[in-house]
Amino acid sequence: MDAEMARHRMAMAAAASAADSVARIVEVGEKQITDREATAECILTTTPEACAHLVAGTRKGKPIEAARIAGLMGVKRTPDLLPFCHPIAVTGAEVVLEPDERAGTIRVQVTVRAKDRTGAEMEALTAAAVAALSLYDTTKEFDRAAHIDGLRLLAKSGGKSGDYRAD
């Protein structure tokens, strides 16, 4: 058995015993299917020069468009990445990237809509993070000090817990 497999098994055993129960996915079958929407954001901060490269395009292609596609892929892959996240019936998603070359920032905002028994918050958050990571992947060629900050839920609607808007 290789070391990585042994570490994985030990981590799984520790997680299961830490809560004194077995991990499980919460039952949502009795909940009503309703319209859900969630919006999340984060910000990539880099140098103005690196930001200009991302906007203009690089030898890799168009980083802004690649990040938009990566974010959409993040929406669809969220339940594959997060063990307690239910697959949901996504009805639409938008990934908006707002570069500010003078400030050296790119704001990533993702809105996900679904008709399901559980919300779309995790899909929106995951998509924003994945889009920003896609930008970082290209930015690191120009600025190793680039960073991603402020990943947060901006708003959600639908479901039993009602609406939420960040301050």
Give catalytic residues, as residue numbers: 137
Q: Return d(Cα 164, Cα 32) in angstroms, integer.
A: 19
Cβ atoms of residues 75 and 112 within 8 Å: yes
Cβ atoms of residues 14 and 8 within 8 Å: no
* Length of the chain in terms of residues written: 167
- For residue 46 the two structure tokens come to 């880099």
Cβ atoms of residues 61 and 12 within 8 Å: no
DSSP result, 68-79:
HHHHHHHHHHHH
Cβ atoms of residues 142 and 47 within 8 Å: yes
Q: Return d(Cα 137, Cα 124) in angstroms, integer.
A: 20
